[in-house]
Amino acid sequence: MSSPLLPRVVGYSDRVNHAFAFAAKHHDRQVRKGTALPYLTHPANVALILTRYGCDDPAVLAGILLDVVADCVREGMTPADLHERIATKFGEDTLETALAVTERRTDDHGVGLTSDERRSDSLMRLERASDRARWVCAADKLHHGGMILAELRRTAFPESVWSRFPRDPEATAQWYRRVYARLAEVGFQAPIMDELRRVVLALEDAVAATTATAPRPG
């Protein structure tokens, strides 16, 4: 099934401005892992990607607030807490969009999930997620993957980049492949998928290059 563009954002939005201020306060002293870049650069770039593709305000707002919502979920906030913190300020559609692509700590029966199970669960839930949520998922992974590639191009020591992640390079690249493949599987055919596919392929090439140049054990 095709995935048309969402209604276009029209210039400045007070809610978008409010979301940036809200996210900036939340991410105050956070930096991107292994860098000195303020963490806010990530949600800002996700918002730019979504705007570039003509997505609507709730999608852009969810892109800006995605990691705020994820942190709230990790901290164990109740649905009522989340509603008060996010929905009352930015709308139910924004909160629902962000939650649809946020890793859960427990399943539908309240059973705790391991790290790997949380990832698999998030992929399974894409089937019933809205197109808006799928746009946010794709934009989030597009920027994360693109940043890995940019950092690899700037260093002569690729292991210094890959070591920032809890999984090895192959598993890290495989995660981006899994997200892309799942989005395609559930019928998400938006134009951003072409760009995400190129990033996935480039990450796989980067892993192959890293493996080929890695010193062999003596």
Domain assignment present for 189:
yes
Domain assignment present for 2:
no
Rounded to whole angstroms, the Cα distance separating 80 from 89 reads: 13
DSSP conformational letter for 6: P
Q: What is the pLDDT of residue 37?
A: 75
DSSP conformational letter for 114: -
Residue tagged 């563009």 (tokens): 5
Q: What's the number of CA atoms in the CB half-sphere (13 Å) around residue 97?
A: 27
Rounded to whole angstroms, the Cα distance separating 137 from 215 reads: 36
Domain assignment present for 166:
yes
- For 85-124, the pLDDT digits (tens) are 999 999 999 999 999 999 998 888 889 999 999 999 999 9
Task: Write out the residue range of the structural domain in which residue 148 sits.
Answer: 14-213
Q: What is the pLDDT of residue 34?
A: 67
**What's the whole-number mean pLDDT along residues 189-200?**
98
- For 150-179, the pLDDT digits (tens) are 999 988 888 889 988 888 999 999 999 999
Q: What is the mean pLDDT of the chain?
A: 89
- For 33-70, the pLDDT digits (tens) are 767 778 889 999 999 999 999 999 999 999 999 999 99
CATH number at residue 171: 1.10.3210.10
Sequence-separated (6 or more) residues with CB below 8 Å from residue 57: 9, 13, 15, 16
- Among the residues of 154-191, which ranges form H helices? 158-162, 169-185
Q: What is the pLDDT of residue 114?
A: 92
Domain assignment present for 116:
yes
- Asked whether the predicted pLDDT for residue 5 surpasses 60, the reply is no
Domain assignment present for 94:
yes
Domain assignment present for 135:
yes
Per-residue tokens: 81:
């807490």
Contact criterion met (CB below 8 Å) for 82 and 95: yes
Q: Tally the domains of the chain.
A: 1
Per-residue tokens: 4:
């048309």
Contact criterion met (CB below 8 Å) for 159 and 146: no
Q: What is the pLDDT of residue 44?
A: 93
Q: What is the pLDDT of residue 217?
A: 41
pLDDT band at 2 (very low <50, low <70, confident <90, very high): very low
Contact criterion met (CB below 8 Å) for 149 and 203: yes
Domain assignment present for 7:
no
